[in-house]
Every structure is written in C-alpha cells, then in structure tokens.
Amino acid sequence: MLTLVLTRHGHTDRSEPDQYLGQTIDIPLSVRGRSDAERLRDRLTGIPFDRVISSPLRRAVETATIIAPGRSIETDPRLMEADYGDWEGQTTEVLDARWPDLRAAWMEDPARLGPPNGENGDAIAARAG
C-alpha cells in the first residue's frame, strides 16, 4: 500500500508576524523551525520512506533533510509554495491596509482569485497536479 506523507516546512525568522512567503523569498528555517522538524522526525520514526521529494526552497529542503536524515532529497519546483506576486513578504496587516477588498475577496475564493502578479489556487493545483 502506498503511504504518502505531506508536511509543510517549519517556521522561519519571517513567520512571525505572519508574512506571505512564497517563491521568491528563499530563507532557511529558524531555530524554532528546526526544532519543529526534529519533533516531526521523531514522530515519523519507523515509517519507511522510499522517496523524499521537496520543494527546492531552502526552508523546505532543510525540513526534509531533518525529517529524513541520510536520505537523498529530490526537489521538484511543482511543489513550491504559491507565487504571492505583489504580496510576497507582506504581512496580513499590510495587505488589509493596501488591498482590503481584494484580500477579502481572495479569502472567500482563493481558487479563482490571486494576488496581483501572483497565482490563484486553480493555477497552484494545476502546477502541483
């Protein structure tokens, strides 16, 4: 039986306050993020991995490396986070102040709507599919 384990990368130094980190801000994990990944590794002990595939972003590769020590990490750009376009690196507070109507509409329908110069959910699903 195929078992697929999906996880998100751990925290970065830009995780708080919450920021939209997509494809262009390529930063490593924070101390907390590495600790989170280590705890997840411990929870997954005993689960054999035939393949480990990660987004090529540093925070994702670092998370995968911690979770599956000694394993070869394959990278696939289709697994990259959303392209947040003009929202990249911005906090929720900034988005609410600068794009209040668009952000509210996007929160209601992220599949159809996307940030300015970024991807919507349908595009992300097509890429990841």
The catalytic residues are 9, 81
- DSSP readout, 35-103? HHHHHHHHHTTT---S-EEE-SSHHHHHHHHHHSTTS-EEE-GGGPPP--GGGTT-BHHHHHHHSHHHH
Q: Which two tokens stand for residue 70?
A: 């000694």
